[in-house]
Structure formats: structure tokens, C-alpha cells
Amino acid sequence: MRKIGHFIDGKNIAGTSGRTADIFNPNTGAVQAQVTMGTPDELDIAVQSAVKAQAEWANVNPQKRSRVLFAYKMLVDAHMDELAELLSSEHGKVVADSRGDVMRGIDVIEFACGVPQNQKGEHTMGAGPGIDVYSIRKPLGVVAAITPFNFPAMIPMWMFGMAISTGNACILKPSEKDPSVPMRLAELFVEAGGPIGLLNVINGDKEVVDAILQHDDIKAVSFVGSSDIAHYVYQESAKYGKRAQCMGGAKNHGIILPDADMDQAVQDVLGAAFGSAGERCMALPVVVPVGEGTAERFLEKMLPAIEGLKIGISTDPDADYGPVVTAAHKAKVTEYIDLAIEEGATLLVDGRGFELQGYEDGYFLGPTLFDNVTTDMTTYKEEIFGPVLQIVRADTFEEALALPSEHQYGNGVAIYTVNGRAAREFADRVEVGMVGINVPIPVPVSYHSFGGWKRSAFGDINQYGMEGLRFYTKTKTVTQRWPDKPTEDSAFIIPTF
């Protein structure tokens, strides 16, 4: 049985707690490895290693930091196939999707390579008589990244790429469900020339999370996960004086106006709703056709499209999506389907009971489609996080606009239309953090930033891009003058320049 411990000070260590969690192969249901849960003492060892490394790294000039990151980017790219296959074996998403997971992480590393330009401060010469003012961005110190199971490559690189580029050290606490890729990413960082101790990985559960939140030497926490835990991490971070950005759950809507290209909308919604078995915070699990005619045209094309989906094992190159991550998660999604039926939604396609021949013990769910879902249903209010698509019918543009705007989550939204004025108005008025116009999964590119609104995000600063750089740095402003003789200005009066 493969054993996974921690990666601290450039070495894989076994861990001492004696507590372990099973890592499953979602395709077969078999236990393939065990990961050791960390302890507060092991976290402290990792932090002290990071403190030492960060003190030296902060004094490395930005162009040298950029070179290390560029070498890292090249190495991760060279190991793409290995990382994607390893990711699929623990998460269950198909290998092509896993490659996308790694690639979107590499995108942020590429942006982080631009740190010599991005971390420049500001300068004003002659702000007063002989007085210059300039600002500089300083690293925070040691920061922590707590990442979810659904993107075990992309989201860690979002966080530690930006943190390390700006002069910080990072403690990474990945999901215990699929920790092998984060561990491998840390190994590759050292192989690329990254300083020992600058990126440490400690595996664990709530005990380690609480130890991170309470540790005096950890200055900031970046988190992605469920909204309840995101809120908890945000509150505890504030309690202990830490900066925090905590991204939570989502219930993203896809609005289809009557003039939309229906073929394109159906194809996009199909992938956005069922890709990666729906285990994406930017999935599109709710579609809102505007008008009865639009809804009927959507169903006419969506039903046969769903029938054409192929569910297969992660390594099947023809599969559209694979299993969900664990048996417990499969049971949770199934319970939501049961509940939606009880709540009165119309079940059009039932994914329960799906079995893949030869892989009957795998965690597979077929696609599920509900019509006539209403806003008072629990299954509409909550995030299902599985291959389940719900149709909420709207009569007007205003009604469709109100649905995502009034929902507790505000991560992403999409609208399908050929009407530029309607799209512009929708994008301006909708109360959601990320908007796609004829784009189903509007995850911003690396030089913009990622972040939702309402219960989808806690904290004022988004992930990656220039927002990420601001999160991982603190501004110091210097006001200076070099007089050639003493001034006669009174030191008792506030200077006005």
C-alpha cells in the first residue's frame, strides 16, 4: 500500500500522528493509498522551515525569483502527462480534463514569472519642495494555502505561484482525498531550483487547518472549498489577525434568451453541467430559458445530447466524464436527486443506478436532468456538486436576471444571446462576480483575477492576477527629502507641502 506523508524542508517524511485517511481509485472503488494526517507539531516544523527559507528568499531580486519560476513552469509542463494521469487516478476526472487542470495552473505560474514588472511600486518626484514619495510592495512572510479536491493542480499553483513570486514562503494543505499531485508539485519546485523549505506540504484534516489558523508565524490564508468552511476560515483568520481570501460554493446560472444560438448553448451547457462530473465551482448546474418556446427548443436539443454522453473510466480517451471522487460524495449527490423528486421537480433524465460494465464498484453517476425547478426548493438553493442539471423557467429578461442576483451564491453566471445591448445590460446589472457572455465557464485568464460575490467569497481580494499580487504583499510608502540646510518649517504643524 502506497503511503503519503508530508513534504517538509525538501524531503518526504512519513508523519507521526498514526492517523490516516484512505485514498480511493474512483474508477474501481479500491483503496490505492493512505495519507497521514498531520499534527500541530509537524505544522510548526514546516512553518519554521518556511520562516528560515523566506528570510533569504525575500532578499532575492525579482528577476532571479522569476527565473526560478520560469524553470518551474518548464518542468511542470514537461511532466504534464505524469501529473494528469496521477490526478485522474485519485480524482476521477478524465485525463484530458486533468491536463486542463494542470495547464490552468501553469498559466498562473507564467503570470507570476512577470513579477519584476508586476511588483514595481509607485514614485512621485517633487510631491513637495524637495520631497519625493515612493511606495514598495513587501512580502507578508509565511502564508498558507488550503485547497480543495476538485482542482488539485490548478488551485495550489494559483496560490503558491503568486505567493512565492512576491517573496513569501508557502505552507500548502491540500485535500486529503487526492494529495499526490500537490506533493509532486512541491517536489518539482525543489527540482527546478526552488529554495528548500520555501514550499512545504502538510496533509491533514481540521486539526491541521485549525493549527494553521492559530499559528503566529502564518500571516495570511488562502482557501477554496465549501461556503460554510470558507466562512469559518475567514472568521478564524480575522480572529487571529491574519489576512484571508476564502472562496466558497456556487450555484451558477446559464440564461438563454429567445434569440440565442441554441445549438451552441446546448453544447456549452452540456459540457459545463456534466464535465468533470459536475465537480467544479464554476460548473453550470442551472439553466434558465426565457419564455416557454425557448425552454421547449432547449429540451428538444438537450435530451438527445444527454443521451449521447459517454461516461467512462478516467483513462478512456472517448469518455466525456468519469466517476465522482468518493463513495460518500456519490451518496450525497444521489440524496439531492431523491430530494428534488420529493420537492416536486420533474425528473427527465435519471442518473441514479448507472453502472459501468467491469467497474461496478466505481463511483459513477449518469447525467440527471430536472425541469420545473423552483426557487423555494432546497436543491435549487444548495450546491449539489455533481452531474445534475436543473431547469428553472423564466417568463421575462427581468425574471431571469433576478434569479442569479438573488441567489445566496454569486460565483459565476452565463448568458446566451446575439443581442449586444441585452448582454451588456445583463453583465452590468447581475449581482455575480464573474460573467460569461456566450461563454459557459467564465474563469478569467491568469492576468485578470478570479473571485465571486456573496457567499461564494469571503474577503476583499480575489485570487491570482494583480489582485493576487496585492493579497500577498503589503505596501510601504516612503516620504523623503534631502535638504542642504535646516528648514524653518515648524515641526509642530502637520506638513501640507
Q: Computed from CA positions of residues 351, 355, 356, 362, in that sequence, does the dihedral angle turn out positive or negative? A: positive
Cβ(94)–Cβ(319) below 8 Å: yes
Residue 114, SS3 per DSSP:
coil
Can you list the alpha helix ranges (DSSP code H) found in 136-260? 154-165, 180-191, 206-214, 227-239
**Distances from the Cα of 107 to the Cα of 38, 76, 102, 113, 223, angstroms:** 30, 11, 9, 10, 19
Give dist(CA 370, CA 390) in Å, integer: 5
- The question of whether 281 is a catalytic residue gets the answer yes
Count of CB atoms within 10 A of residue 493's CB?
Answer: 7
Give dist(CA 162, CA 170) in Å, integer: 10
Residue type, 322: G
Give dist(CA 20, CA 5) in Å, integer: 9
Cβ(279)–Cβ(152) below 8 Å: no
β-bridge pairing 346-349 and 11-13: unpaired
Of 113, 170, 246, 281, which is the active-site residue?
Answer: 281
Give dist(CA 401, CA 322) in Å, integer: 33
Catalytic positions, please? 281
